[in-house]
Structure 1
Amino acid sequence: MNKLFHNTLYLRLQPDQLHALHVESGRTFAEAPLLALRHDKGRRVPLAAGSEALALRGQEGIELANGFEHPRTLLADFGVAEKTLQLLLRKILPASLLQRAPTVILHPQALLEGGLTQLEIRGFAELLRGAGARQVFIWSGAELSRTDLQTQRFPAERGTLLYPEPH
């Protein structure tokens, strides 16, 4: 299929920063993985993510939440993390009616002592699907090159493809 219709995102995730690369265009993006919420009749209503959420800090009735901030794990609050990624992915993806849902390669880069558990790996995969990914890969190891990402080659000598598990 023509590259025009491909959408591949490489996300490097830390509790305080999400770095994204849209592989086909070369566009990069870095934002704090924050979600601004307003409390309305007992519900938390998402308003904005990233720098747009930061701009709302201090306003009455606004709470800033980070679904990736916890002392033991990178995935702290599934609902907040999912909505944050939904909003941030919209900012990096090119606007087009013909674009397919993205393939997302997630590269967690913090809180990895002892490796990710199967529960964390599955949680990240479900999180990304819920945020709009068509296909999900979870990578642990050295940073991937743009060529690796374009060919979806995950060099075993430089890391481990955690998801999907090889058959």
Structure 2
Amino acid sequence: MRNLIKGSDATLYLQLWEKRIRVTDIDSGRIFDEVPLVAVRKGKRRSKRVAIGSRASSASSSDVEVINPFSHPRSLLAHFKAAELLLEGIFEKLGAEGLFSAPSNLVLQPMEKNQGGLTEVEISAFQALGLSAGARRVYVYQGPELTRHTLDLANVRDASAPVAATGIDEPRGWTQWIWIAIWFILIAAMTIFQQF
């Protein structure tokens, strides 16, 4: 029974570059380390993930688009919906043994395009990305590179505070929930308009 719910209490460490994404399951040591590509089949109502990582590069066709959601000259997050589909696929791949593939804790560390520190808007966008992909708590970490053995969630939480602890267990003010709702409505509207 423990294997069925493995993913429900997992902690994943996500390192992000424009041309590489590395996600480590802290408990099991399983790693996804590939190019950050997602092949997406556009539908009338919603996009469907066809492949992720290196497999996505060969999945291109007339109705399938291959997207690197982290490729942009100024920012590391360029395409929110494609990034969400990519993370969902990675979570499923790493949580393949369990019934629930989304992690309880996601430590997300942008490894480039972060000179001078991330802005509050960038941190919020990365948090929203992790939450919309299914993580319960997302910590956007800015510090020295971690390993499976050096990642201490309490230290990450402290280093990422006060903005980064945004999971369902932390109390939030009404205005924060309203801004999050507005953010998701705007993303949904942009996704709908892109399909027309």
RMSD of the alignment, in Å?
A: 2.8
8 Å CA contact 2:102, 2:135 repeated in 1: no
Aligned to 1:28: 31
CA distances 1:27-57 after superposition (whole Å, capped 9, x unpaired): 1220111111234559754322112212314
Taking a change above 3 Å as real, the CA distance of residues 61 and 25 of structure 1, as seen in their structure-2 partners, is same
State the distance in 1 between where 2:100 and 2:48 align: 30
> Which has the larger helix fraction?
2
Contact map agreement 2:13 2:24 (CA 8 A) in 1: yes
Give runs of aligned pairs for residues 54-73 of structure 1, distance below 5 A.
Answer: 54-57=57-60, 59-73=61-75
Amino acid at match of 1:51: S
Any idea what the Cα deviations from partners look like across 1:6-46, whole Å, max 9, x if unmatched? 30100000011111110001112201111112345597543
**Superposed CA offset, 1:33-89 (max 9, x none):** 1111234559754322112212314x3433211111100000111111111111121
What's the counterpart of residue 19 of structure 1?
A: 22
Return 5+ residue gaps in structure 2 as ranges.
167-196
TM-score for the superposition, normalised by structure 1: 0.81
More strand by share: 1
The count of aligned residue pairs is 160
Distance in 1 (CA, whole Å) between partners of 2:100 and 2:117 is 38
After superposition, the Cα gap between the structure-2 partners of 1:72 and 1:136, relative to the gap in structure 1 and judged at 3 Å, is same
Q: Percent identity?
A: 35
Q: Does 1:97 align with 2:99?
A: yes
CA distance in 1: counterparts of 2:42 and 2:27, whole angstroms:
39
Q: Could you tell me which residue of structure 1 aligns to residue 181 of structure 2?
A: none
> Structure 1 residues 13 and 134, CA, compared in 2 at 3 Å: closer, same or farther?
same
SS in 1 for 2:75: coil
Question: Does the aligned pair in 1 maintain the 2:92–2:102 contact within 8 Å?
Answer: no
AA aligned opposite 2:9: H
